[in-house]
A and B are shown apart, each in its own frame.
Chain A
């Protein structure tokens, strides 16, 4: 814990093997992020965690912490970039927050609020994406998928099933499920799967639970995403307790 780097002018201690994101969160400094999840290997796809390191853009969820780095995160320039990224995500899918059951529990929405995204910014593409309601207890609403691959990672790494995958490239990239029919009902997915719990938006939903939690008691009604990310952040290993996201790299 002796080595440090600079984040917005403050010293951040880190341990070998930690990323800039992990060290920052552990030290109580929030860096906005979307596809990063403390329990999974960094993915580096959404770019919302972008920071400037020595004048160059880098994704802080994948950048290894190194002594002496000079990292700029909470600056107008970088936050403007993040806002643009979030706006593009909103424009690409069909995110109708007012009628979405994930509203108040949605990472994308919470991030939008946190970053002060006030307008759409781009013309909405309004893609035509039918939902997959074939499974008796789980609904897949592709309209809201932001392609973070968290479900993909969770299903393979934790559930050991690889129910989800991304197919296609560029603007045609989309979520698919592992069944010949292409229907969720024909996959091995189960209600207890980790993959269902990690979706940051309203794309993977447990059926018939929407709107059960009243306004005022939803996740981000209670505290903003920045505070919750810090509360959820992995702490340096204490005692025998391993830090789930510090493992690996072996």
Chain B
């Protein structure tokens, strides 16, 4: 299966295609495609440089600084890191159960984050590919193009994101890099005025989110064969679920299922995640490769994120999103729910769920409460797991008696999805690159596959849909046979 790519018998005879973002920015990566002598794809490797340094960087720092510090890890989902760190440090300060006010304010913050991140991911970054076609003119295939041709849609995307950011601002203190959550609880509640202002728009946000789900459904209808097949592969899955099996993006137990639907483990206390999840280091990547211990490093890779969460939960605990989940799972015999591009559909269902959750939480007077922080008996270690926009996020710290962090281990969504993304790229490359010359269209297809998982990786926060790429075709002797460079402004040379 996956690893026949990596164990090509004569890698020295393979040609190498490297796709590299030109601008060296956060979460940057490089794709290497190794071709054999017949121009068949044998290996797909996504190289990402990130996160390693951080685990060193936090050593020696006082633990209460960590939830604020870790927000620098990701430009798109800082709140997820903020909350995952706080959940881990809750355990360190002995807050085995935070107050209802703290729990609900953190959830509110988290759903605000999911809403804004999913809106950004879909409307700003992915929708141009989907609306205009993967091979369409780059000059048009961006958010500006969407604004020109679908002004209402673009406006909704912008306002959905803005609403999510506003939820974050009132719960965290700032739209980016706030401080709202602290070990043991939160540092502020919602004022009545803040709550009422958010409630005013909550129903409109739900309606727009539902429209967005239907939009993806229509896109599938129009291109069913392509969408079902594009970059698709079978994968084991990992996600958090509530005790009753419901989707819970903030807290729960770990559920793992194999690609043929068997349950590997369920409702596992995430404090013991390492009983089930190991991490392998490979010489060619800075990233670690997590795998299910039960299945071993070769077969145990898995996929996390919206597609996994929507397809593997037993139900979604808000009515509109659950209805959409059922439609999604039943659609075309369940093929979209197994397709790489189905991730966008699932993502919009989660956005709808987040909008519903925000509305429910705003109606709960606990968010106005004053009981903000709890503490208890100090512990030397803590694990926090949350479902971040792009997938399961694990923070794990050891803190000494002087309050200093002595060890940190983070497994971020992108790392969980490491091999899954390689698989998606390989599937796309096999179909669209095999035996052909390098063309811009081929790059676009790889880009679209990556973007189904991860906008950061495509440097999309900076390039807004025009991923700057350098493609080199290098033969087995290291000679450059072909080269294609696309800069951030979309021009090719």
A interface with B by C-beta (< 8 Å): 96, 98-101, 130-131, 133-134, 139, 205, 207-217
Contacts and interface: CB of A to CB of B under 8 A. Distances in A.
B319 to A, nearest CB: 34
Contacts of B93: 208
A214 B173 contact: yes
B174 interface: yes
Nearest to B184: A208
Nearest to B186: A214
A214 B373 CA distance: 13
A99 B403 contact: no
A140 to B, nearest CB: 11
A133 B403 contact: yes
Given A98-B68, A133-B403, A207-B403, A139 B62 contact: yes
B62 A211 contact: no
B72 interface: yes
Contacts of B187: 211-214
A99 B65 contact: yes
List the 5 closest pairs (A to B, CB-CB), nearest first. Answer: A215-B173, A214-B188, A99-B69, A133-B402, A210-B64
Nearest to B180: A214
B372 to A, nearest CB: 9
B182 A212 contact: yes
A130, A133, A207, A217 interface centre (most CB from chain B within 10 Å): A133
A211 B64 contact: yes
Contacts of B67: 211
Interface string B155-195: 00000000000000000111001111010000110000000
Consensus secondary structure, chain A interface: loop
B182 A211 contact: yes
B403 A215 contact: no
Contacts of A217: 188
Nearest to B400: A133
A101 B404 contact: no
A131 B60 contact: yes
B179 A214 contact: yes
B193 to A, nearest CB: 13
B404 A210 contact: no
Given A207-B403, A214-B180, 16 more contacts: A98-B177, A99-B65, A99-B69, A99-B72, A101-B65, A131-B62, A133-B62, A139-B403, A207-B62, A209-B64, A210-B62, A210-B65, A211-B187, A212-B187, A214-B188, A215-B173
B65 A131 contact: no
A68 B10 CA distance: 89
A96 B72 CA distance: 11
Question: Which of A101, A207, A214 gathers most chain B CB within 10 Å?
Answer: A214
7 contacts: A96-B69, A98-B177, A99-B65, A100-B65, A208-B403, A209-B64, A210-B64
Contact of A215 (B62, B174, B182): B174
A213 B67 CA distance: 15
A215 B404 contact: no
Contacts of B71: 98-99
Nearest to B185: A212
Contact of B402 (A134, A205, A211, A216): A134
A211 B174 CA distance: 13
A100 B178 CA distance: 12
A30 to B, nearest CB: 27
A100 B173 CA distance: 15
A51 B25 CA distance: 43
A133 B404 contact: yes
Contacts of B179: 211, 214-215
Contacts of B373: 212
A36 B402 CA distance: 33
Contacts of B173: 214-216
Contacts of A215: 172-174, 178-179
A130 B405 CA distance: 12
Contacts of B61: 131
A207 to B, nearest CB: 6
A214 B213 CA distance: 36
A63 to B, nearest CB: 40
B347 to A, nearest CB: 28
Nearest to B181: A211
B284 to A, nearest CB: 30
A205 B178 CA distance: 20
B102 to A, nearest CB: 13
